[in-house]
């Protein structure tokens, strides 16, 4: 990114020499994304990539751009940027149905089928995340794609939590579009993308330029795009090593805390989860008090989605899973990454144990 910035202002829409250099940087990033997601992005009429400011914009673009004439089916545990746009569309006359989840944190496939049957073959757009951002529970996207295909419905997947952590093979996957954001795989904040399968067009939500085939006008931020491309290349190359590293650290983190406090509840523990995500209810302690006390000790965690934790409402994810008020009021989310160390985990365990002992009623 520094190298690109040092080349001066770069506009990939310009026809002069620096514009051509800018376009080369963008095309290289697209090549890295295509290789990482197993999708040919260089074919005329094939799958394509729209760069956005991040996951929130990509989710808005997907749902608002594809909902016309369709019923929207959204799972109850989606990211706030999906749930909020669903409610916004509902107020404007779009029919919206909410897909239930099981107590383990997985989307209920039977309820999805029931909702599809009730539509009487009317077209639908289904939106389900690949893995939950709070519990880490991996969702049955392959099975959902098969259901959508059977009912001739579109499928949007928010894969913000999964890209760079799990291998993805998008060509022939049955997905209509997929969202991701660079900062989730150690790229820069402020840049993301929406992958769109061949044969689908969406209505833009921004106007005023012809960039990106008018799907998302505005001069592309070349340094951010270059950073996204390099970050996804590195993340994909290290995906197995990083995943194993995170998984081992998470296992040690959870097992040691459970050994000390058997009453703790780890949500989604029976399901396949993201290797580095852990959502724990510290029964008898208040989540906000725990969060602030841990922050003073140097432990960074959250009491829900980072996009809504500023207002600190109870977790809508845990509520959708049918968890009690005691569970939701004491739940904190922790995450480790490939940059985390054994010493980080050891220190965090000691800090959390000390704070919990002090705050539990």
What amino acid positions are annotated as catalytic residues? 307
CA distance 280 to 302: 11
The whole-angstrom distance between residue 269's C-alpha and the CA centroid of its chain comes to 19
Distances, alpha carbon 264 to alpha carbons 248, 261, 285, 330, in Å? 19, 6, 11, 10
Tokens representing residue 179 in the block: 């969202």
Name the strand (E) or helix (H) holding 142: helix 141-150
Residue 38 region, left (φ>0) first, then alpha (ψ -120 to 50), else beta? left
- 215: DSSP letter: T
Q: Could you identify the residue written with the tokens 């295909």?
A: 149
* Under 8 Å between Cβ of 179 and 156: yes
Distances, alpha carbon 238 to alpha carbons 108, 164, 244, in Å? 32, 9, 10
């Amino acid at each position: 990114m520094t190298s690109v910035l040092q080349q001066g202002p770069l506009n990939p829409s310009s026809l002069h020499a620096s514009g051509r250099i800018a376009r080369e940087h963008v095309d290289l990033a697209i090549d890295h994304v295509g290789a990482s997601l197993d999708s040919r992005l260089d074919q005329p009429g094939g799958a394509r990539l729209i760069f956005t400011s991040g996951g929130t914009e990509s989710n808005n673009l997907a749902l608002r751009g594809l909902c016309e004439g369709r019923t929207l089916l959204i799972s109850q545990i989606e990211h706030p940027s999906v749930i909020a746009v669903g409610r916004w569309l509902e107020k404007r006359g779009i029919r919206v149905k909410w897909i239930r989840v099981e107590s383990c944190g997985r989307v209920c496939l039977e309820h999805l089928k029931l909702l599809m049957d009730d539509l009487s073959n009317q077209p639908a757009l289904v939106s389900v995340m690949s893995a939950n951002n709070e519990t880490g529970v991996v969702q049955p996207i392959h099975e959902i794609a098969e259901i959508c295909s059977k009912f001739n419905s579109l499928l949007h997947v928010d894969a913000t939590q999964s890209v760079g952590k799990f291998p993805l093979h998008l060509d022939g996957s049955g997905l209509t579009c997929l969202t991701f954001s660079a900062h989730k795989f150690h790229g820069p904040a402020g840049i993301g993308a929406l992958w769109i399968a061949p044969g689908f067009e969406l209505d833009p939500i921004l106007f005023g330029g012809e960039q990106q085939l008018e799907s998302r006008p505005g001069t592309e931020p070349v340094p951010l795009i270059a950073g996204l491309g390099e970050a996804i290349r590195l993340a994909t190359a290290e995906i197995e090593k990083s995943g194993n590293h995170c998984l081992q650290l998470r296992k040690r983190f959870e097992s040691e805390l459970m050994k000390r406090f058997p009453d703790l509840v780890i949500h989604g523990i029976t399901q396949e989860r993201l290797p580095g995500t852990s959502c724990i209810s510290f029964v008898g302690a208040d989540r906000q008090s725990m969060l602030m006390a841990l922050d003073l000790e140097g432990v960074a965690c959250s009491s829900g989605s980072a996009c809504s934790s500023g207002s600190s409402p109870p977790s809508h994810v845990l509520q959708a899973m049918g968890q009690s008020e005691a569970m939701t009021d004491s739940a904190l989310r922790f995450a480790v990454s490939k940059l985390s160390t054994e010493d980080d985990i050891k220190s965090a365990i000691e800090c959390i144990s000390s704070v919990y002992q002090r705050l539990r009623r």
